[in-house]
């Protein structure tokens, strides 16, 4: 009876972790079925096996399911490719291919195909027979048309066809129910492809470098969109209907001609990353304060004369970029942005920095170069995690002695200031690697003294 009890107990103990693991696997499978996009698109595939020639790969064909033949000068693929019918991942980018043979259709197991940076002038139609294909990269070719047969790639999740000669998108793109990513940057579009507004399944669209000018109001149909990039597109205004993109968490509108943002942008409640560099903005909509999840906002090279106070409502903000504006004062209330770890407010009209700048316990990068600053706040020693300090092109005549307590400092760049020496004790900052001091009134004699004091650091005079 005693032995029976011991045996039963051991079985139970060993069974617990097995069942527990099985339960975890079951739960994971349920999550996959419910939200496949959270997993599939983020998977990093195992790197393909590399060979010098296609024939080498064929000779080893029994063991190959992933193959890389990048930059091998390949001009043609022959019918012997059928011997590699176990391939699931094929990368033959950066070669000299102009076509694919009909026998290419034998690669029925392919899920990932990269034929970017070749010499294709037409979309290889044999690809439409690869029904299991999930990722296709055909960027950097000379393709002008995506055939309507694209709909046959029912399992396609990612299509990259950037830097080609496309001027339109086939309506069939909306039939690709599993398509999540579409990269069509740097093509020949002269307007926003209206066909995309019917592709409601898309999560990520990159259209950078196309002269689309106007975003149609029908963009509201793309309600599941999470990432939209329209850099360098000559966009001058946003439609009010952009407010319907409530899942959008990344919006890039850099290098356009925006004069203002619509009030409706405040309805993008999921927005975390907003890039508006190089536009013509001088203020932000008042209700943008509702975007409380904002983690990074970039407003470089605009026309702000005052610090946009609306930013102070972004309690989760980690990165703030305001360089190349005309801002004269940083408000003391910047202290509200407690999570900041990166501040770039270079190339403005600042004369001082508020003590509030010292309150950011997580700050790692501070760039205040190209201003009119004469002094740094003495409280700078509170920035215990500061790694990079850029002060170039200011009027700083002395660094505060407290800077010696910035124990994480790796780089101090103070070119073109009025410095004559460095504070005593700075050489004891163990992490400090580089000090840049070009165009400062430091005498030759003082330079030699500094060099002796800082034997482990790289000094640039």
205-290-279 Cα angle (round to 5):
55
Is pLDDT above 60 for 182? yes
Answer whether residue 258 is part of any domain.
no
How many other C-beta atoms are found inside a 10 Å radius of the C-beta of residue 35? 10
* 62 confidence band (pLDDT: 50, 70, 90): low
Answer whether residue 210 is part of any domain.
no
Answer whether residue 108 is part of any domain.
yes
Give tens-digit pLDDT for 372-384.
999 999 999 999 9
Give tens-digit pLDDT for 354-374.
999 999 999 999 999 999 999
Lowest mean pLDDT among 52-56, 152-156, 445-449: 52-56
Residues 87 and 213: their CA atoms lie apart, in Å, by 42
* 407 confidence band (pLDDT: 50, 70, 90): very high
pLDDT score at 12: 38
Quick one: which H or E segment has residue 38? Answer: helix 37-40
Mean of the per-residue pLDDT values of the chain: 90
Which sign, positive or negative, has the C-alpha torsion 369, 374, 380, 384? positive
pLDDT score at 152: 97
Residues 165 and 146: their CA atoms lie apart, in Å, by 10
Answer whether residue 222 is part of any domain.
no
* 47 confidence band (pLDDT: 50, 70, 90): low
Stated pTM of the model: 0.85
Half-sphere exposure of 283 (CA within 13 A, CB side): 5
Q: How many domains does the chain have?
A: 2
Residues 113 and 211: their CA atoms lie apart, in Å, by 29
Which sign, positive or negative, has the C-alpha torsion 343, 388, 232, 280? positive
* 46 confidence band (pLDDT: 50, 70, 90): low
Q: 3-state secondary structure string, 63-122?
A: HCCEEECCCCCCCCCCHHHHHHCCCCEEECCCCCCCCCCHHHHHCCCCCEEECCCCCCCC
The domain in which residue 102 lies consists of 22-188
pLDDT score at 2: 42
DSSP state of 348: S
User: In 3D, which of 195, 136, 200 has the Cα closest to residue 170?
Assistant: 195
Give tens-digit pLDDT for 102-125.
999 999 999 999 999 999 999 999
Residues 251 and 257: their CA atoms lie apart, in Å, by 15
Residues 140 and 81: their CA atoms lie apart, in Å, by 23
* 57 confidence band (pLDDT: 50, 70, 90): confident
Q: What's the whole-number mean pLDDT along residues 126-147? A: 98
Percent of the chain with pLDDT over 70: 89
User: In 3D, which of 407, 439, 436, 408 has the Cα closest to residue 422?
Assistant: 436
Answer whether residue 15 is part of any domain.
no
Residues 381 and 362: their CA atoms lie apart, in Å, by 13
Residues 168 and 291: their CA atoms lie apart, in Å, by 34
How many other C-beta atoms are found inside a 10 Å radius of the C-beta of residue 395? 14
Q: What's the whole-number mean pLDDT along residues 13-20? A: 38
Q: What's the whole-number mean pLDDT along residues 46-55? A: 75
Query: Pick from 145, 165, 188: which residue ends a domain?
Result: 188
pLDDT score at 5: 40
Query: Pick from 171, 188, 205: which residue ends a domain?
Result: 188
Query: Pick from 188, 208, 229: which residue ends a domain?
Result: 188
Answer whether residue 7 is part of any domain.
no
- Strand partners for 41: none
Lowest mean pLDDT among 45-54, 175-184, 346-355, 450-459: 45-54
CB-based contact 402:386 (threshold 8 Å): no
Answer whether residue 329 is part of any domain.
no
CATH number at residue 401: 3.80.10.10
pLDDT score at 252: 98
- What's the token pair of residue 190? 């002269």
- What's the token pair of residue 346? 């270079």
Percent of the chain with pLDDT over 90: 85
Which residues, at least 6 apart from 351, have a Cβ–Cβ distance to it below 8 Å?
Answer: 328, 371, 372, 373, 374
- DSSP for 232-243 reads TS---B--GGGG
Give tens-digit pLDDT for 197-242.
999 999 999 999 999 989 999 999 999 999 999 999 999 999 999 9
Give tens-digit pLDDT for 281-300.
999 999 999 999 999 999 99
Answer whether residue 54 is part of any domain.
yes
Quick one: which H or E segment has residue 16? Answer: helix 2-34
What separation, in Å, do the N-terminal and C-terminal C-alpha atoms of the chain show?
A: 87
Q: What's the whole-number mean pLDDT along residues 383-409? A: 96
Lowest mean pLDDT among 80-84, 154-158, 232-236, 341-345: 80-84
């Amino acid at each position: 009876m005693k032995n029976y009890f011991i045996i039963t107990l051991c079985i139970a103990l060993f069974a617990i972790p097995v069942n527990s693991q099985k339960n975890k696997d079951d739960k994971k499978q349920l999550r996959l079925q419910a939200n496949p996009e959270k997993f599939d698109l983020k998977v990093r595939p195992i790197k393909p096996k590399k060979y010098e020639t296609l024939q080498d790969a064929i000779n080893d064909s029994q063991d190959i399911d992933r193959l890389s033949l990048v930059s091998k000068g390949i001009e043609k693929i022959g019918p012997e490719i059928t011997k590699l019918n176990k391939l699931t991942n094929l990368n033959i980018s950066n070669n000299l291919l102009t076509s694919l043979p009909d026998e290419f259709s034998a690669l029925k197991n392919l899920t990932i195909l990269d034929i970017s940076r070749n010499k294709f002038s037409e979309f290889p139609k044999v690809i439409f027979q690869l029904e299991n294909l999930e990722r296709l990269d055909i960027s950097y070719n000379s393709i002008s048309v995506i055939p309507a047969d694209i709909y046959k790639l029912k399992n396609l999740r990612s299509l990259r066809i950037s830097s080609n000669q496309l001027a339109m998108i086939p309506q069939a793109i909306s039939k690709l129910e599993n398509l999540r990513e579409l990269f069509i940057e740097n093509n020949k579009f002269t307007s926003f492809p209206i066909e995309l507004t019917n592709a409601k399944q898309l999560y990520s669209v990159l259209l950078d470098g196309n002269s689309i000018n106007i975003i149609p109001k029908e963009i509201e149909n793309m309600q599941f969109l999470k990432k939209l990039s329209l850099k360098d597109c000559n966009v001058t205004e946003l439609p009010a209907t952009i407010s319907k993109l409530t899942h959008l968490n990344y919006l890039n509108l850099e290098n356009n001609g925006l004069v203002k943002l619509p009030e409706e942008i405040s309805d993008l409640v999921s927005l975390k990353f907003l890039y508006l560099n190089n536009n013509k903005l001088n203020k932000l909509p008042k209700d943008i304060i509702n975007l409380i999840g904002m983690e990074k906002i970039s407003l470089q090279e605009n026309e702000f004369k005052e610090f946009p106070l609306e930013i102070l409502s972004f309690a989760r903000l980690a990165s703030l970029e305001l360089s190349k504006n005309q801002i004269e004062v940083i408000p003391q209330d910047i202290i509200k942005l407690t999570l900041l770890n990166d501040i770039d407010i270079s190339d403005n009209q600042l004369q001082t920095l508020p003590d509030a700048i010292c309150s950011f316990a997580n700050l790692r990068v501070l760039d205040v170069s190209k201003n009119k600053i004469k002094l740094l706040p003495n409280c700078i020693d509170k920035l215990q995690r500061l790694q990079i300090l850029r002060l170039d092109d200011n009027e700083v005549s002395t660094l505060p002695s407290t800077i010696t307590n910035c124990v994480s400092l790796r780089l101090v760049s103070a070119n073109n200031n009025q410095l004559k020496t460095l504070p005593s004790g700075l050489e004891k900052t163990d992490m400090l690697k580089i000090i840049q001091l070009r165009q400062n009134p430091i005498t030759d004699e003082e330079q030699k003294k500094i060099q002796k004091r800082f034997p482990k650091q790289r000094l640039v005079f």
